[in-house]
Amino acid sequence: MSGLTPFDVMMRKDIEKTFNELLVEARNIYEEAKKDGIKPLLYGSVAFYYKAKENKVAVELLKLYRKSEDIDINFLVKPEDRDKFKGLITNLEYTPYFHLEKVLGDVAGMFFKENVIVKVYYFNEMRFNHVIPVNLDSDFTLDDEDLILSKLQRHNPVNKDLADIASLLLVKDVKEDKILELTSADWGLWKDVTDNLMKLRQLLSNLVADEIKEREEVMPVISKVVKLHGKIMNHPKKESWKPLPLDAKYWSDF
């Protein structure tokens, strides 16, 4: 089932305060970076909160499977801006995680200041479980479709990832062109995306069954999920779309 009780939901009251504080900090980093000609794009839970914060039900979905201490700020930064961003974040009194800098500092970084953690990937696209091109012209956050893809592309999403998708679908009519284009060309991405849509539909049904959410609160999301799943299944596939054996590893680790 959902893995939650009404009591669990009551214990999430402090999370919105954390989201708001981290959103203010993320915006400050972004505005300071722009002064140096850098455009870090926010993704992750804080970006989803930014998109959904005016909708009570969407915010409740974001909070369901989280604890305040589990929320970080996540940015995607162009590789050519890596050194400038590191200088900027240091000037903002953040301390780098030195071991990560030594081992993977050319592709990723983690920076600390008091109780705030900023995680950065230096890529021109998402390179997580699958490679996803992103709209680098977006402002402040990844655009809506890229945010959805950042979660749908996960090979083993946890419930908070699925709840993030639900929160955005509740408040936005997300474009589907890129999702259809990419999944029609890559069987591995297609498999994870379609599997995750089914997992999301089941999670929402479980939230209703466990009386965590009312059916009418989540039905708009379920409807969008069903329609998107159907479009992906029926969209013409390209020559590059080739099923692999069930035991094949079709995703990357990150």
Q: How far apart are CA 178 and CA 139, in angstroms?
A: 18
Ramachandran quadrant class, 217 (left: phi over 0; alpha: psi -120 to 50; beta: rest): alpha
| Domain segments of the chain as ranges | 6-234
Q: Which of 85, 82, 153 shows the shortest CA–CA distance to 123?
A: 82
Q: How far apart are CA 199 and CA 156, in angstroms?
A: 10
Structure tokens at 91: 């000037």
pTM for the predicted model, two decimal places: 0.94
Instruction: Tally the residues of the chain.
Output: 254
Q: 40 pLDDT exceeds 70?
A: yes
For 231, residues 6+ apart whose C-beta sits below 8 A from its C-beta are: 176, 180
Structure tokens at 209: 């069954």
For 225, residues 6+ apart whose C-beta sits below 8 A from its C-beta are: 169, 197, 200, 201, 204
- The structure tokens 């214990």 sit at 11
For the segment 175-228, what is each residue's pLDDT rounded down to a tens digit?
Answer: 999 999 999 999 999 999 999 999 999 999 999 999 999 999 999 999 999 999
Give the pLDDT confidence score for residue 246 in this predicted structure.
Answer: 84
Other C-beta atoms lying within 10 Å of the C-beta of residue 62: 28
For the segment 80-121, what is each residue's pLDDT rounded down to a tens digit?
Answer: 999 999 999 999 999 999 999 999 999 999 999 999 999 999
Q: 70 pLDDT exceeds 90?
A: no
